[in-house]
Structure 1
Amino acid sequence: MKFDDIGVGVVGLGGMGQLHANSMHDLGASVVAGADVSPPQRERFGREFGVPTYEDHDDLVADEHVDAVVVTTPNRFHEPIAVAALEAGRDVLVEKPLAHTLESAERIVAAARKADAECMVGFHNRHTAGTTMLTEQHARGRFGPLTHVEANYVRRRGIPGPGSWFTNADLAGGGALIDIGVHALDLSLYVLGFPEVVEVSATTRSTFGGEESYADPDGFGENWSADSGTYDVDDSVSAFIRCADGRTISLEAAWATNREPSSELHVRGTQAGARMEIGGTDLSILETGTVGCDHYADTDLTGDASITGYKQQDREFLACVASGHEPATNTVGEALTVQRVIDAIYRSSETGRAVEVERREHEAAPTIRRESS
């Protein structure tokens, strides 16, 4: 499928905006406009792609050459940009998470349901080689019914610099959970086929952000200064998620904690299990057998390293724009389910007890095709 007649506008011209612009260009679409509040970002983007740039997203949405809008701003601004684009009939790809709060996410979904346009959400790790192999092996019944997913996305030391929008709850909506933990949470729900979540028990922590003596060996936060700006978000979270059908998810996410870093998904089924690195190209399948003698049978699958999650995701988005068909994955309904679980994690931590989660209209329903027995 060719995408050369699709004009893409990017709102938020930092690293993520640049990544998507390059990806869309490589896939054959035309990058036709950019928008950002930062003059240097606008100048750089306009020079690189030879396109007009705007300070206000409304001007980009009104540009007649724009068919689709990619939103890569801080989370708080996802809603006004996505809603404006959808109401103008522009297809939208909004980076994860869907929004900075559950209420804001619900308003985006409402706009998407009314619009004559499609909306996808940027959970790119669904499209990596490792995830593709996992879901296809599961669809073929190799694991049997899945019972539990252990998910972690843990940095030993990796807090974005204090004073950045990542550490400001008003702009981000949360910290490590909503920044990186959301990837592990989304993948867990995705491989389970988005079962109904009924209860969440969780604790979030903010341990390291206020420490002037915080060690940052890799320079992740650049010039660390604990009093350089707002730090009112979590830097780690532990959560246990219970689904209506008895399946469960355990989640660990951290920007900083005193353990080795890891970003893995461990999937347990009745017939076999699997392990993969989030965003990786390989998959390990864990089985047992009795032929000859009782034994373990572990199989390592090596995926195509040229498959990248961002490129595959952007290709799916452009295909939806070109065809006018609803997306088969990365839907706003799924993203709203993820957002509702995030909200429940924060509520559980605030109250110190497990909280109930209710599915609402337009949220993800179980995806039966991935639940082979």
Structure 2
Amino acid sequence: MISPNVGVGIVGLGGMGQLHASSMLELGADVVAGADVSPEQRERFASEFGVTTYEDHAGLVADENVDAVVVTTPNCFHEPIAVAALEADCHVLVEKPLAHTLESAERIADAAADSEGICMVGFHNRHTAGTTMFTEQHKRGRFGDLTHVEANYVRRRGVPGPGSWFTNPELAGGGALIDIGVHALDLALYVMDFPEIVEVSGMARTTFGTREEYADPDGFGDAWNAQADTYEVDDSVSAFIRCADGQTITLEAAWATNRAPCSDLHIRGTDAGAHMDIGGTDLSILEAGTAGCDHYADVELTGDSALTGYKEQDEAFLTAIASGEAPTTNTIEEALTVQRVIDAIYRSSETGEAQRLVPEQTEAETEAEAAPNARLSNR
């Protein structure tokens, strides 16, 4: 049940801000305010939605009509906006990633823990048709135990133009990994039900963004100029994630690389496997059997193309507000796990060493755990 009395303010009035505003209105909430540093964006938003607009988030948060705040700004601005809103006990939906650094993300989480407002993070691909069909089939036990996920978000040529906030490490916190790889990483962890992560290793590469001659057949990086600004972010990343119970994840993320593009998950289970495109409508299930003769059984499920994930995510946000209970999806705890893995991948790339996310057992702890088993075996 969604309360129609929730007043929503949008901070960041570009494409994502307008998308959220439209879906909130469709869901019965009231869009009451917007904020953006750009006068043009403020004017356009005010004209389209008929609301008050502000130059910065402070005015919006102080607006007595605002109950919930949606944050769609560049990554480094997530923290000051989200913290201010949470300290005012507003509800907050932050677009992915939670922040540009792990430390910043942790400060948002601390503010959320002290707030009467809820905080959710915008990983909309959890709510698309392909993902929801996989989740239901997995609940029914069709795949058995999940053992490995290959997660990919790879563009052949798709570097945002140097000089944009996407290629500024101070604003974005990273490059391809934190921009698009985060979608694949979150979805892989989500389908595995966020297992405990033991160790992360990875390599980040900066290969294409500094080239004077950069082939861009699709014109993705508008007005390419490698000398316009410093380009110090990754344009591709490869990573390996090991979990406590033996599950593993491989991650490939790239703005540009010399291979065919893809954005998908290959999921392996003990009883069946699955393949789905990130944000996609369909789900492929891969099974094998012996009835009659040994055979493969591949099943294609075609879902509702209207389930793009954005509206469904906003609905989950509004439903949590109406219920007064903690959200069950897109939680800040899950987003912190994603942020820790991103941080570990970058640290692994810098040091050339795998990064542990759980502490190593001391020799004394190992002996203490082994002692009861030793006593039992001697009986």
Normalising by structure 1, we get a TM-score of 0.95
CA contact (8 A) 1:271 1:287 kept: yes
> How far does residue 129 in structure 1 lie from its aligned partner after superposition?
0.6
1:43 — aligned with what? 43
Contact 1:129 1:308 in 2 (8 A): yes
Q: 1:293 aligns to what SS in structure 2? A: coil
Please give the secondary structure, in 1, of the residue aligned with 2:333.
helix
Given that residues 3 and 27 in structure 1 are in contact (C-alpha distance below 8 angstroms), is that contact kept between their aligned partners in structure 2? no
AA aligned to 2:136 is E
What secondary structure, in the 3-state scheme, does the structure 2 residue paired with 1:237 have? strand
Paired residue type of 1:269: G
Deviation, structure 1 residue 358: 3.0
Q: Is the 8 A contact 2:162 2:229 kept in 1?
A: yes
| Range 96-105 or range 16-25, more displaced | 16-25
3-state SS, counterpart of residue 225 of structure 2: coil
- C-alpha separation in 1, matches of 2:232 and 2:40: 28
Contact preservation (8 Å) 1:161, 1:221: yes
1:284-303 equivalent positions in 2, closer than 5 A: 284-303=284-303
1: distance between equivalents of 2:128 and 2:317?
Answer: 15
Aligned residue pairs: how many?
A: 359
Query: Is the 2:91–2:119 contact (alpha carbons within 8 Å) kept by the matching residues of 1?
Result: yes
Q: C-alpha deviations, 1:105-158, integer Å up to 9, x for none?
A: 000001101101100000000000100011111111000000000000000000
Kept in 1: contact 2:163–2:230 (CA 8 A): yes
In 2, the alpha carbon distance for the partners of 1:46 and 1:205 equals 42
SS of the counterpart of 2:325? coil
Q: Secondary structure at the match of 2:193?
A: coil
Q: Is the contact made by 2:76 and 2:170 (CA closer than 8 Å) also made in structure 1?
A: yes
SS of corresponding position for 1:106: helix
- Is 1:130 matched up with 2:130? yes
Query: Deviation per CA, 1:230-253, whole angstroms, max 9, x where unpaired?
Result: 311000000000001110000000
Structure 2 contact 159–220 (Cα < 8 Å) conserved: yes
Indicate the residue corresponding to 2:226 in structure 1.
226
Which amino acid is 2:80 matched to?
A: P
Which residue pairs with 1:326 in the alignment? 326
RMSD: 0.9
- 1:106 and 1:56 map into 2 onto residues whose CA distance is 23
Q: Which has the larger radius of gyration?
A: 2
Contact 1:197–1:241 (CA under 8 A) maintained in structure 2:
yes
Say if 2:2 and 2:318, in contact at 8 Å, map to a contact too: no
1:317 is matched with which residue?
317
Instruction: Provide the secondary structure at the position in 2 that maps to 1:77.
Output: helix
SS at match of 1:73: coil
Q: Which stretch shows the higher mean deviation, 315-324 or 160-169?
A: 315-324
The answer for the alignment partner of 1:268 in structure 2 is 268
**Which secondary structure does the structure 2 equivalent of 1:152 belong to?**
strand
Which residue of structure 2 aligns with residue 170 of structure 1?
170
Distance 2:19 2:207 in 1: 32
Quote the residue 1:62 is aligned against: 62
In structure 1, C-alpha distance between the alignment counterparts of 2:139 and 2:2, rounded to whole Å: 29
In the alignment, structure 2 segments of 5+ residues that lack a partner are 360-379
1:368 — aligned with what?
none
C-alpha separation between the residues in 2 aligned to 1:3 and 1:225?
Answer: 49
Secondary structure of residue in 2 paired with 1:320: helix
CA contact (8 A) 1:202 1:354 kept: yes
Q: Is the 8 A contact 2:9 2:33 kept in 1?
A: yes
Structure 2 matches for 1:79-228, cutoff 5 A? 79-228=79-228
Contact 2:158–2:255 under 8 Å retained in 1: yes
Question: C-alpha distance in 1, partners of 2:261/2:161?
Answer: 19
- The separation in 1 between residues aligned to 2:258 and 2:3, in whole angstroms, is 47
Measured after TM superposition, the shift of residue 2 of structure 1 is 3.9
Q: Distance in 2 between matches of 1:327 and 1:2?
A: 14
SS across alignment from 1:326: coil
Q: Distance in 2 between matches of 1:71 and 1:358?
A: 31
Q: TM-score, normalised by structure 2?
A: 0.94
**Residue identity matched to 2:210:** G
- C-alpha distance in 1 between matches for 2:267 and 2:305: 22
Contact (CA 8 Å) 1:199, 1:241: kept in 2 or not? yes
Residue of structure 2 equivalent to 1:277: 277
Give the secondary structure class of the aligned counterpart of 1:292.
Answer: coil
Give the partner amino acid of 1:5: N
Aligned to 1:14: 14
Residue 367 of structure 1 corresponds to none
- How much has 1:6 moved relative to structure 2? 1.0
| One-letter amino acid of the structure 2 residue matched with residue 317 of structure 1 | F
- Could you tell me how far apart the structure 1 residues matched to 2:202 and 2:107 are? 26
Cα distance, 1:186 vs structure 2: 0.3
8 Å CA contact 2:177–2:236 kept in 1: the answer is yes
User: 1:174-203: per-residue Cα shift (whole Å, max 9, x none)?
Assistant: 000000000000011111110111101100
Query: How many angstroms apart in 1 are the aligned matches of 2:168 and 2:296?
Result: 48
In structure 1, the gaps of 5 or more residues are 360-373
